[in-house]
Amino acid sequence: MIDLGKKNVLGVAINALDYECAIERIMANAKAGKRCATTALAVHGLMTGVLEPAHRHRLNSFDLVTPDGQPVRWALNLLYGTKLPDRVYGPNLTLQVCQEAARKGLSVYFYGSKAEVVDKLCERMRVMCPGLKIAGAQPSEFRTLSAREQMATVEKIRSSGAHILFVGLGCPRQEVFTYEMSQHLNMPVLAVGAAFDYHAGLLQEPPRFLQDAGLQWLYRLCQDPGRLWRRYLFTNTQFLAMFLAQWVRVWRPSLDDTQVPLVDVRFG
Protein backbone atom coordinates (compact mmCIF):
# COMPACT_ATOMS: atom_id res chain seq x y z
CA MET A 1 0.00 0.00 0.00
CA ILE A 2 1.37 3.41 -1.00
CA ASP A 3 0.44 6.67 0.73
CA LEU A 4 3.00 9.46 0.40
CA GLY A 5 0.63 12.28 1.32
CA LYS A 6 -0.42 15.30 -0.69
CA LYS A 7 1.97 16.81 -3.22
CA ASN A 8 1.87 20.20 -4.91
CA VAL A 9 1.31 19.86 -8.66
CA LEU A 10 0.84 23.29 -10.26
CA GLY A 11 -0.67 24.61 -7.02
CA VAL A 12 -3.19 21.76 -6.61
CA ALA A 13 -2.70 19.20 -3.82
CA ILE A 14 -2.69 15.69 -5.31
CA ASN A 15 -2.51 12.55 -3.15
CA ALA A 16 0.41 10.30 -4.08
CA LEU A 17 -1.24 6.96 -3.35
CA ASP A 18 -2.41 3.73 -4.91
CA TYR A 19 -5.81 2.05 -5.27
CA GLU A 20 -5.42 0.00 -2.11
CA CYS A 21 -4.83 3.05 0.06
CA ALA A 22 -7.58 5.13 -1.56
CA ILE A 23 -10.13 2.34 -1.15
CA GLU A 24 -9.11 1.69 2.45
CA ARG A 25 -9.55 5.36 3.37
CA ILE A 26 -12.89 5.67 1.60
CA MET A 27 -14.26 2.50 3.19
CA ALA A 28 -13.02 3.41 6.67
CA ASN A 29 -14.84 6.75 6.47
CA ALA A 30 -17.95 5.13 5.02
CA LYS A 31 -18.10 2.66 7.89
CA ALA A 32 -17.51 5.43 10.45
CA GLY A 33 -20.02 7.82 8.86
CA LYS A 34 -17.40 10.49 8.18
CA ARG A 35 -16.75 12.89 5.32
CA CYS A 36 -14.22 11.94 2.64
CA ALA A 37 -14.53 14.34 -0.28
CA THR A 38 -12.79 12.63 -3.18
CA THR A 39 -12.09 13.32 -6.82
CA ALA A 40 -9.97 11.68 -9.49
CA LEU A 41 -8.21 14.33 -11.59
CA ALA A 42 -6.79 13.98 -15.06
CA VAL A 43 -5.08 16.91 -16.79
CA HIS A 44 -8.30 18.76 -17.62
CA GLY A 45 -9.63 18.50 -14.08
CA LEU A 46 -6.30 19.59 -12.64
CA MET A 47 -6.16 22.62 -14.94
CA THR A 48 -9.65 23.79 -13.91
CA GLY A 49 -8.15 24.32 -10.47
CA VAL A 50 -4.87 25.76 -11.71
CA LEU A 51 -6.64 28.45 -13.73
CA GLU A 52 -9.37 29.39 -11.22
CA PRO A 53 -8.39 30.38 -7.63
CA ALA A 54 -11.86 29.71 -6.20
CA HIS A 55 -11.99 26.25 -7.72
CA ARG A 56 -8.43 25.60 -6.58
CA HIS A 57 -9.64 26.34 -3.06
CA ARG A 58 -12.33 23.68 -3.46
CA LEU A 59 -9.92 21.06 -4.75
CA ASN A 60 -7.37 21.77 -2.04
CA SER A 61 -10.04 21.27 0.62
CA PHE A 62 -10.76 17.71 -0.60
CA ASP A 63 -9.67 14.78 1.53
CA LEU A 64 -8.52 12.73 -1.48
CA VAL A 65 -7.48 13.96 -4.92
CA THR A 66 -6.21 10.97 -6.85
CA PRO A 67 -4.00 11.04 -9.99
CA ASP A 68 -6.60 9.89 -12.51
CA GLY A 69 -4.53 10.60 -15.63
CA GLN A 70 -1.14 9.13 -16.48
CA PRO A 71 0.37 12.61 -17.02
CA VAL A 72 -0.66 13.58 -13.48
CA ARG A 73 1.00 10.41 -12.16
CA TRP A 74 4.11 11.13 -14.23
CA ALA A 75 4.19 14.66 -12.82
CA LEU A 76 4.17 13.28 -9.26
CA ASN A 77 6.93 10.83 -10.10
CA LEU A 78 9.13 13.44 -11.80
CA LEU A 79 8.60 16.22 -9.28
CA TYR A 80 8.75 14.14 -6.10
CA GLY A 81 10.19 10.74 -6.98
CA THR A 82 7.05 9.01 -5.74
CA LYS A 83 7.52 5.99 -8.05
CA LEU A 84 3.77 5.42 -8.29
CA PRO A 85 3.30 2.29 -10.41
CA ASP A 86 -0.16 3.23 -11.66
CA ARG A 87 -2.72 6.00 -11.68
CA VAL A 88 -5.89 5.86 -9.57
CA TYR A 89 -8.47 6.06 -12.34
CA GLY A 90 -12.03 7.16 -11.55
CA PRO A 91 -13.93 4.33 -13.30
CA ASN A 92 -11.68 1.65 -11.77
CA LEU A 93 -11.92 3.30 -8.35
CA THR A 94 -15.70 3.36 -8.65
CA LEU A 95 -15.90 -0.33 -9.48
CA GLN A 96 -13.49 -1.39 -6.75
CA VAL A 97 -15.20 0.74 -4.09
CA CYS A 98 -18.58 -0.73 -5.08
CA GLN A 99 -17.18 -4.26 -4.93
CA GLU A 100 -15.77 -3.59 -1.47
CA ALA A 101 -19.04 -1.96 -0.37
CA ALA A 102 -20.91 -5.09 -1.49
CA ARG A 103 -18.55 -7.28 0.55
CA LYS A 104 -18.97 -5.11 3.64
CA GLY A 105 -22.73 -4.61 3.32
CA LEU A 106 -22.50 -0.83 2.81
CA SER A 107 -24.94 0.90 0.49
CA VAL A 108 -24.23 3.41 -2.29
CA TYR A 109 -26.04 6.26 -4.00
CA PHE A 110 -25.50 7.45 -7.59
CA TYR A 111 -26.13 11.08 -8.52
CA GLY A 112 -25.69 12.60 -11.98
CA SER A 113 -25.91 12.06 -15.73
CA LYS A 114 -29.19 11.28 -17.53
CA ALA A 115 -31.98 9.03 -16.25
CA GLU A 116 -31.33 6.35 -18.86
CA VAL A 117 -27.61 6.31 -17.97
CA VAL A 118 -28.30 6.01 -14.25
CA ASP A 119 -30.83 3.22 -14.81
CA LYS A 120 -28.38 1.24 -16.94
CA LEU A 121 -25.57 1.95 -14.47
CA CYS A 122 -27.56 0.50 -11.57
CA GLU A 123 -28.51 -2.55 -13.61
CA ARG A 124 -24.94 -3.33 -14.63
CA MET A 125 -23.36 -2.52 -11.26
CA ARG A 126 -25.60 -5.08 -9.58
CA VAL A 127 -24.16 -7.67 -11.97
CA MET A 128 -20.54 -6.55 -11.62
CA CYS A 129 -20.80 -6.21 -7.83
CA PRO A 130 -22.98 -9.08 -6.55
CA GLY A 131 -24.83 -8.12 -3.39
CA LEU A 132 -24.36 -4.38 -3.90
CA LYS A 133 -26.98 -2.35 -2.04
CA ILE A 134 -28.04 0.70 -4.06
CA ALA A 135 -29.81 3.04 -1.65
CA GLY A 136 -30.81 5.44 -4.39
CA ALA A 137 -30.05 6.85 -7.82
CA GLN A 138 -30.88 10.30 -9.12
CA PRO A 139 -30.16 11.89 -12.52
CA SER A 140 -28.80 15.41 -12.85
CA GLU A 141 -31.13 18.37 -13.25
CA PHE A 142 -28.58 19.89 -15.67
CA ARG A 143 -29.04 23.33 -14.17
CA THR A 144 -28.21 25.39 -11.12
CA LEU A 145 -30.23 24.33 -8.09
CA SER A 146 -31.89 26.75 -5.73
CA ALA A 147 -30.81 26.65 -2.09
CA ARG A 148 -34.07 24.86 -1.24
CA GLU A 149 -33.56 22.27 -3.98
CA GLN A 150 -30.00 21.68 -2.85
CA MET A 151 -31.08 20.99 0.72
CA ALA A 152 -33.89 18.74 -0.54
CA THR A 153 -31.27 16.74 -2.41
CA VAL A 154 -29.11 16.58 0.71
CA GLU A 155 -32.05 15.28 2.74
CA LYS A 156 -33.01 12.73 0.08
CA ILE A 157 -29.48 11.30 0.03
CA ARG A 158 -29.18 11.41 3.81
CA SER A 159 -32.53 9.71 4.41
CA SER A 160 -31.74 6.96 1.89
CA GLY A 161 -29.33 5.43 4.37
CA ALA A 162 -26.49 5.46 1.83
CA HIS A 163 -22.92 5.13 3.10
CA ILE A 164 -21.17 6.37 -0.08
CA LEU A 165 -22.25 8.88 -2.71
CA PHE A 166 -20.92 8.75 -6.29
CA VAL A 167 -21.23 11.90 -8.39
CA GLY A 168 -21.04 11.93 -12.18
CA LEU A 169 -21.66 15.45 -13.45
CA GLY A 170 -18.59 16.14 -15.56
CA CYS A 171 -15.69 18.39 -14.67
CA PRO A 172 -15.74 20.87 -12.92
CA ARG A 173 -19.44 20.67 -12.04
CA GLN A 174 -18.99 17.40 -10.15
CA GLU A 175 -16.18 18.82 -8.00
CA VAL A 176 -18.32 21.86 -7.14
CA PHE A 177 -21.21 19.56 -6.23
CA THR A 178 -18.92 17.31 -4.16
CA TYR A 179 -17.43 20.31 -2.35
CA GLU A 180 -20.91 21.53 -1.42
CA MET A 181 -22.42 18.13 -0.54
CA SER A 182 -19.47 17.23 1.67
CA GLN A 183 -20.35 20.15 3.92
CA HIS A 184 -23.73 18.55 4.65
CA LEU A 185 -23.24 14.78 4.39
CA ASN A 186 -21.34 12.53 6.79
CA MET A 187 -20.17 10.05 4.17
CA PRO A 188 -17.57 9.78 1.40
CA VAL A 189 -18.61 11.72 -1.71
CA LEU A 190 -16.72 10.70 -4.84
CA ALA A 191 -16.59 12.74 -8.05
CA VAL A 192 -15.90 10.08 -10.65
CA GLY A 193 -16.48 11.73 -14.03
CA ALA A 194 -17.14 9.42 -16.96
CA ALA A 195 -17.39 6.34 -14.72
CA PHE A 196 -21.19 6.43 -15.03
CA ASP A 197 -21.08 6.25 -18.83
CA TYR A 198 -18.34 3.61 -18.88
CA HIS A 199 -20.01 1.28 -16.39
CA ALA A 200 -23.43 1.82 -17.97
CA GLY A 201 -21.88 0.44 -21.16
CA LEU A 202 -22.57 3.63 -23.12
CA LEU A 203 -18.96 4.80 -23.54
CA GLN A 204 -16.21 2.50 -24.72
CA GLU A 205 -12.96 2.32 -22.77
CA PRO A 206 -9.81 2.99 -24.81
CA PRO A 207 -7.39 0.10 -25.32
CA ARG A 208 -5.13 -0.49 -22.34
CA PHE A 209 -1.97 0.39 -24.29
CA LEU A 210 -3.38 3.87 -25.00
CA GLN A 211 -4.29 4.31 -21.33
CA ASP A 212 -0.80 3.26 -20.23
CA ALA A 213 0.77 5.63 -22.76
CA GLY A 214 -1.22 8.58 -21.40
CA LEU A 215 -3.19 8.87 -24.65
CA GLN A 216 -6.72 8.35 -23.36
CA TRP A 217 -7.37 12.00 -24.24
CA LEU A 218 -6.53 11.23 -27.89
CA TYR A 219 -9.00 8.35 -27.95
CA ARG A 220 -11.75 10.54 -26.53
CA LEU A 221 -10.84 13.33 -28.96
CA CYS A 222 -11.38 10.92 -31.87
CA GLN A 223 -14.78 9.99 -30.40
CA ASP A 224 -15.96 13.61 -30.02
CA PRO A 225 -13.61 16.02 -31.87
CA GLY A 226 -16.11 18.86 -32.23
CA ARG A 227 -16.56 19.21 -28.48
CA LEU A 228 -13.11 18.31 -27.21
CA TRP A 229 -10.49 19.69 -29.60
CA ARG A 230 -10.25 23.10 -27.94
CA ARG A 231 -10.07 21.55 -24.48
CA TYR A 232 -7.19 19.27 -25.33
CA LEU A 233 -5.29 21.69 -27.58
CA PHE A 234 -5.16 24.48 -25.02
CA THR A 235 -5.40 22.55 -21.74
CA ASN A 236 -2.70 20.00 -22.55
CA THR A 237 -0.37 22.71 -23.83
CA GLN A 238 -0.87 24.81 -20.70
CA PHE A 239 -0.32 21.80 -18.45
CA LEU A 240 2.93 20.88 -20.18
CA ALA A 241 4.29 24.45 -20.08
CA MET A 242 3.41 24.97 -16.41
CA PHE A 243 4.69 21.54 -15.39
CA LEU A 244 8.05 22.23 -17.06
CA ALA A 245 8.25 25.58 -15.27
CA GLN A 246 7.67 23.88 -11.90
CA TRP A 247 10.01 21.00 -12.73
CA VAL A 248 12.98 23.28 -13.57
CA ARG A 249 12.05 25.49 -10.59
CA VAL A 250 11.52 28.75 -12.40
CA TRP A 251 8.01 28.71 -10.91
CA ARG A 252 7.10 27.64 -7.39
CA PRO A 253 3.32 27.41 -7.12
CA SER A 254 1.77 27.80 -3.67
CA LEU A 255 -1.02 25.64 -2.27
CA ASP A 256 -2.20 28.68 -0.32
CA ASP A 257 -2.70 30.90 -3.37
CA THR A 258 -6.45 30.33 -3.53
CA GLN A 259 -9.66 32.25 -3.13
CA VAL A 260 -12.60 31.16 -0.99
CA PRO A 261 -15.68 30.87 -3.22
CA LEU A 262 -17.93 33.82 -2.47
CA VAL A 263 -21.11 32.14 -3.64
CA ASP A 264 -21.90 28.44 -3.86
CA VAL A 265 -22.78 27.51 -7.44
CA ARG A 266 -25.14 24.66 -6.47
CA PHE A 267 -24.86 22.61 -9.63
CA GLY A 268 -27.22 19.69 -9.85
Which residue from 55, 66, 62, 85 is spatially nearest to 14, judged by alpha carbons?
A: 66
Q: How confident is the model at residue 43 (pLDDT cuts 50, 70, 90)?
A: very high
| Amino acid 30: pLDDT | 98
Residue 229 counted as domain residue? no
Residue 211 counted as domain residue? no
User: How many domains does one find in the chain?
Assistant: 1
| Rounded average pLDDT over 207-235 | 66
Q: Is residue 214 pLDDT above 90, yes or no?
A: no
| Omega of the bond leading into 67 within 30 degrees of 0 (cis) | no
Residue 175 counted as domain residue? yes
Q: Mind listing the pLDDT tens digit for each residue in 222-245?
A: 666 666 656 666 788 999 999 999
Sheet holding 164-168, edge to edge: 64-67, 36-41, 188-191, 164-168, 107-112, 133-138
Q: Which runs of E-coded beta strand occur in the chain?
A: 3-9, 12-17, 36-41, 64-67, 107-112, 133-138, 164-168, 188-191
Residue 45 counted as domain residue? yes
For the purposes of burial, counting CB atoms within 10 Å of the CB of 81, is it exposed (0-12), middle (13-18) or buried (19 or more)?
A: exposed
Run of H or E residues at 169:
none
| Rounded average pLDDT over 250-257 | 96
Residue 135 counted as domain residue? yes
Q: Mind listing the pLDDT tens digit for each residue in 77-117?
A: 999 999 999 999 999 999 999 999 999 999 999 999 999 99
Q: What mean pLDDT, rounded, does the chain reach?
A: 91
Residue 78 counted as domain residue? yes
Residue 227 counted as domain residue? no
Q: Mind listing the pLDDT tens digit for each residue in 108-144?
A: 999 999 999 999 999 999 999 999 999 999 999 878 8
| Rounded average pLDDT over 187-195 | 94
| Amino acid 112: pLDDT | 92
Residue 98 counted as domain residue? yes
Complete DSSP assignment for 72-123: HHHHHHHHH----SS---HHHHHHHHHHHHHHHT-EEEEEES-HHHHHHHHH
| Amino acid 234: pLDDT | 79
Domain that holds residue 88: 3-199
Determine contact, residues 261/57, Cβ cutoff 8 Å.
yes
User: Cα 4 vs. chain centroid, distance in angstroms?
Assistant: 19
| CATH code of residue 130 | 3.40.50
Q: How many CB atoms lie within 10 A of CB 212?
A: 12
